[in-house]
Amino acid sequence: MRCDLCPNMCGADRTRAAGRCGAKETVRIAKYYLHPFEEPVISGKNGSGTVFFCGCPLQCVFCQNYEVSRNLRGKYISDKELAEIFKKLEDAGATNINLVNPTHYSRAIMRALEIYRPNIPVVYNTHGYERKEILFEIDPYIDIYLPDMKFFSPALSERYTGISDYFEKASAAIEFMAEKPLVFGDKGIMKSGTLVRHLVLPQCTSDSKKILDWFADIKDKAFINVMSQYTPFGDIEKFPELKRKITKREYESVLEYAMSLGIENMFYQKIESAEEIYIPKWDY
């Protein structure tokens, strides 16, 4: 079967060879654990029951999870084993089941969720480069969407991922996700809805502001986390502008712009958040 799970539509027969995402048919994971460093509304008290999937359709040059997104490591598991992991995380007290980078395994994830459906919210934690048709299939299994919105400019997404239609595809996908009702439970923990993440990149404040202009149209239906934690990492030798963290001035100018647009459903970080504490230690 030719793979059509993401907008790359590369048509790989993943039973034989990996597609552009680097992933073959069988699910491969790098780690699962109770992750304490998502947004407080996601991690809650006990941590988010996070499963890190290997491979990625986007392949950003600055990826912090480089070894995992390039599928250079990991453990192959069956649909049944994935379902058992969901149960194990739930039994350990996870606030939710958090599927990190799930796109290229979305059908296997649906099969695993048919085997075991957790009694806690299921989070679809994605780079944002999604096909609406596939989201429509997985939507009944998902409670919370946690999509990145990385780039507005086609030239910028082409430069850092080799993909020029990132914004076109991600904006359509996130507008679909934002229809999920926003619901918060005890202690403000998210139960349903969409939380968009935008990482401010060095020298890219004007791109960030265009993303905020777009978000302003859905600002009452979703939340946005404007993140300052960019840390130079990955395959950035040819990208000198990416070799520094963002400045306080860059970050504040983006936050001020968000406020000028009346965006209230917003989280932000301390500028000191740009530390490697956010990069997990891989188990497989």
Cβ–Cβ < 8 Å for 62, 127: no
27 binds ligand SF4 (CB under 6 A): no
The two beta strands, 27-35 and 75-77, are antiparallel
Find the binder of ligand SF4 among 44, 47, 49, 57 (CB under 6 A): 57
Residue 21 CB, nearest distance to ligand SF4 (Å)? 3
85 binds ligand SF4 (CB under 6 A): no
Residue 57 CB, nearest distance to ligand SF4 (Å)? 4
Residue 260 and residue 263: Cα distance in Å, rounded?
A: 8
Q: Which range of residues in 9-17, 32-40, 180-188, 202-210 is near ligand SF4 by CB under 6 A?
A: 9-17
Helix (H) or strand (E) run with residue 160 in it: helix 154-161
Quickly count: other Cβ atoms within 10 Å of residue 244's Cβ. 13
User: Site for ligand SF4 (CB under 6 A): how many residues?
Assistant: 15
Q: Which is nearer to ligand SF4, 41 or 68 (CB)?
A: 68
Q: Which range of residues in 8-16, 134-142, 151-159, 250-258 is near ligand SF4 by CB under 6 A?
A: 8-16
Q: Which is nearer to ligand SF4, 151 or 230 (CB)?
A: 151
104 binds ligand SF4 (CB under 6 A): yes
CA atoms within 13 Å, Cβ hemisphere of 220: 1
One-letter-per-residue 3-state SS of 6-40: CCCCCCCECCCCCCCCCCCCCEEEEEEEEECCCCH
Q: Which is nearer to ligand SF4, 10 or 110 (CB)?
A: 10
Q: Return the structure tokens found at 119.
A: 């009694």
6 binds ligand SF4 (CB under 6 A): yes
Quickly count: other Cβ atoms within 10 Å of residue 189's Cβ. 17
How far from 98 is each of 33, 120, 129, 143, CA to CA, in Å? 10, 10, 18, 10
Residue 148 CB, nearest distance to ligand SF4 (Å)? 16
Q: Which is nearer to ligand SF4, 101 or 228 (CB)?
A: 101
19 binds ligand SF4 (CB under 6 A): yes
Kindly list the residues in this chain that would bind ligand SF4 in the complex (CB under 6 A): 3-6, 8-10, 12, 14, 19-21, 23, 57, 104
